[in-house]
Structure 1
Amino acid sequence: MSNEDTAVRSAPDVHRLSRWLGEQGLPGGDGDLVVARIPGGSQNQLYELRSGAERLVLRAAPSHASPERAARMLREYELVRALAGTDVPHARVHAATTDTGILGQPFYVMDHVDGWSPMQGGWAAPFDTDLEARAGLATQLVDGIARLSRVDWRAGGLEGFGRPDGFHDRQVDRWLSYLDSYAFRELPGLEVAADWLRTHRPRDYRPGILHGDYQFANVMYGHGAPARLAAIVDWEMATIGDPLLDLGWALIAWPPEGDDMTESRYLDYAGMPSRDDLLEHYATVSGRGVEDIDYYVILARFKLAVVLEQSVARAAASGGDPRVARFDGIVLELLRKAAELTRSTSLT
């Protein structure tokens, strides 16, 4: 057992956690709880909870989280709980608490997912060498959000969870206002993309659940071929909006249009199906039209660039942060490609 495991298991707060688990009727409440930190995830803290053969996962807001950030943790729990009984792959949630006397921050407990993430060293075997099998990972990626887009969010108790009315009317000015609070340099392509987005809003907008950060980094797959999506994870940015933005997000750097996006890709896309094939699959499963997909790709690039630029600005103000050094190039590439797509798209 690692020193970290030993330190966490013997910490006093684990005893409080064990007591709370017992009150919820969950494994680990009888004193045999072992807690181990799960690496990865810069935004929130993940812990594996082991009690005999039982395994659960605890997701907590970071210790330095603001009250608003902590509240988002409970919104995430509310959203995932609404997915119970649907065909959307997700980790079932069990209980949540705002009681900071247990761990110091709000948290919730969910099922442990037996699977792997592309962020744990890239494509797992056999997808690292079998390109035909790897293509299935992309199809499953898109399948997950196609299923999510079909969920009846009102029936799931999510009325009031977001502000779906006027979703597209708010996007550009909201994110430009956000950028204004930390802007420190010129961003070529920003205004081109913003002006185009204002005048090319989608023709057919149907509100649904929006994950908000949908990409290979935020899903888990089952072990072995054929590809199987085991769970969509990291729901912190979820809201009620336009589900097609998740599709645009997934296709931010997709071939062939995105083949020159060397900064924004963190995985090898060799063997992946064409964008047209993925659009067809999404349309078939979701029942939604994909004719305006270029709008969603441009909006996804625009929004992600604005979000990442905040980290770039902070690093510049503090003398640099090696953890976000790559973001500088990603921001500029995203906006360059967003502007390029406004000029090459067939949308009028």
Structure 2
Amino acid sequence: MTAVELVSGGTQNILLAFTLDGHRRVLRRPPVNKRPESDQVARREARIVTALGSTDVPHPRLLASCAGTDVLGAAFHVAEYVDGFSLWGPVPEPWSSDPSWVQMAGLDTVDAFAALARVDPEAFGLGDFVRPGPWAARQPDRWLRQLSSYDELDGGTDEAERLPGAAAAHAWLVANIPSTERLGLLHGDAHLGNVLVRRDGTGVVLVDWELATVGDPLLDLAQLLATWPVEGSPYFERVQVAGLPDVEEVVARWATASGRPIDDLAWYRVLAAYRLAVLLEGTHARARAGLVPLSTGRTLHQRACGLLAAVTYNPWSADVGL
């Protein structure tokens, strides 16, 4: 093994790139300060990526996985290395100067998530991921419990102080639960930071599958919209290149490519903002407990507050009615 390089490492996962037998690979494992569920999440992620190998969803091909913890102290897997970049990072030529290339990358991104929305979990051995009962109806309280669980980390911070706007979002979600749902496989963390644009110009690859599950794929579209760098979004400053499709084009493209109705998209946009804000606030709670750098926690806390503020006030999501 040669040319070992830390690709990323911190609060969520550690990624190490290395060369073995002339081929570049990536090892993915939980962080050093593991959460109680970290190993189980890693095993689940490896199982989902294995299933994706038989689909047309663009993703890094899984090469090996280890469910035990005796080798590295954590479950892990090894996947092919993708020579790509995120539109949230430094952007090379021709993307940096040609908006048409950026537009193509944006549309490829939407198509990739739409391809995932077409995957039937039952057909690819993931049927046991489906829990009995309505999925959408469980979501508001599921994420409220997640938010409340941070009491164990940060000493019982008052919920209103912890995440302003969360209570209002939760109440709206409970009062407006969709009457229908169509389950499928969803990524669970859909944003441009989890999309690699191949440097050879042959498309994009979806990465970071730790939150993938069975649910309504409208949530992936909604989170993509919540994090899409439009004016008013807390992610607006992340992309410094012109050419990305606008929100209306993203929605129309996904609806056509996925073949799914979007009647309940407003509800899922609120859920996406609420859910993502709760997840980001988890790192803030871990930071307050001394488990991750405080500066990281504060940055993600500000982003979480921005997500909920955007849902409540900004024109691009005013249709949710909060």
- The yes-or-no answer on 1:329 pairing with 2:297 is no
Higher relative contact order (CA 8 A, sep 6+): 2
Among residues 182, 190, 194, which one is paired with 2:170 in the alignment?
194
State the partner residue of 1:122. 90
Answer whether contact 1:76 1:235 (CA < 8 A) is retained: yes
State the partner residue of 2:318. 344
Greater shift after overlay, 245-254 or 45-54? 45-54
TM-fit CA distance, 1:93 = 1.0
Q: 1:211 is matched by which residue type in structure 2? A: H
Deviations 1:122-150 (A, max 9, x none): 33322222122211222111111100011
User: Quick one: structure 1 residues 164 and 50, their matched pair in 2 at CA, closer, same or farther if it must change by over 3 Å?
Assistant: farther
Q: 1:220 is matched by which residue type in structure 2? A: L
User: Quick one: structure 1 residues 80 and 314, their matched pair in 2 at CA, closer, same or farther if it must change by over 3 Å?
Assistant: closer
- The yes-or-no answer on 1:85 pairing with 2:58 is no
Deviations 1:9-32 (A, max 9, x none): xxxxxxxxxxxxxxxxxxxxxxxx
State the partner residue of 1:111. 80
Greater shift after overlay, 170-179 or 72-81? 170-179
Q: 2:310 is matched by which residue type in structure 1? A: K
Q: For 2:36 and 2:289, how far apart are their aligned partners in 1?
A: 25
Answer whether contact 1:117 1:221 (CA < 8 A) is retained: yes
State the partner residue of 2:251. 279
Answer whether contact 1:55 1:112 (CA < 8 A) is retained: yes
Q: 1:324 is matched by which residue type in structure 2? A: G
State the partner residue of 2:154. none
Q: For 1:280 and 1:248, how far apart are their aligned partners in 2?
A: 13
Structure 1 or 2, whichever has the larger Rg, is: 1
TM-fit CA distance, 1:234 = 0.6
Q: 1:112-261 alignment to 2 at 5 Å?
A: 112-119=81-88, 121-163=89-131, 165-181=133-149, 182=151, 183-184=157-158, 185-186=160-161, 187-225=163-201, 228-229=203-204, 231-254=205-228, 258-261=230-233
Q: TM-score, normalized by length of structure 1?
A: 0.80
Deviations 1:69-110 (A, max 9, x none): 111101101001111121100111122113333222221122
**Identical-pair percentage:** 36
TM-fit CA distance, 1:193 = 1.6
Q: For 1:340 and 1:37, how far apart are their aligned partners in 2?
A: 43
Q: For 1:145 and 1:264, how far apart are their aligned partners in 2?
A: 21
Q: For 1:55 and 1:35, how far apart are their aligned partners in 2?
A: 9
Q: 2:114 is matched by which residue type in structure 1? A: A
Answer whether contact 1:222 1:228 (CA < 8 A) is retained: yes
TM-fit CA distance, 1:279 = 1.2
Q: 2:271 is matched by which residue type in structure 1? A: L
Q: For 1:57 and 1:270, how far apart are their aligned partners in 2?
A: 31
SS class of match (2:85): coil
TM-fit CA distance, 1:263 = 5.8
Q: For 1:233 and 1:162, how far apart are their aligned partners in 2?
A: 22
Q: For 1:169 and 1:228, how far apart are their aligned partners in 2?
A: 36
Unaligned segments of structure 2, at least 5 residues: 152-156
TM-fit CA distance, 1:317 = 5.4
Q: For 1:215 and 1:253, how far apart are their aligned partners in 2?
A: 6
Q: For 1:320 and 1:114, how far apart are their aligned partners in 2?
A: 29
User: Quick one: structure 1 residues 71 and 317, their matched pair in 2 at CA, closer, same or farther if it must change by over 3 Å?
Assistant: closer
Q: 2:301 is matched by which residue type in structure 1? A: D
- The yes-or-no answer on 1:308 pairing with 2:280 is yes
Greater shift after overlay, 78-87 or 60-69? 60-69
Q: TM-score, normalized by length of structure 2?
A: 0.86
Q: 1:57-96 alignment to 2 at 5 Å?
A: 57-66=26-35, 68-96=37-65
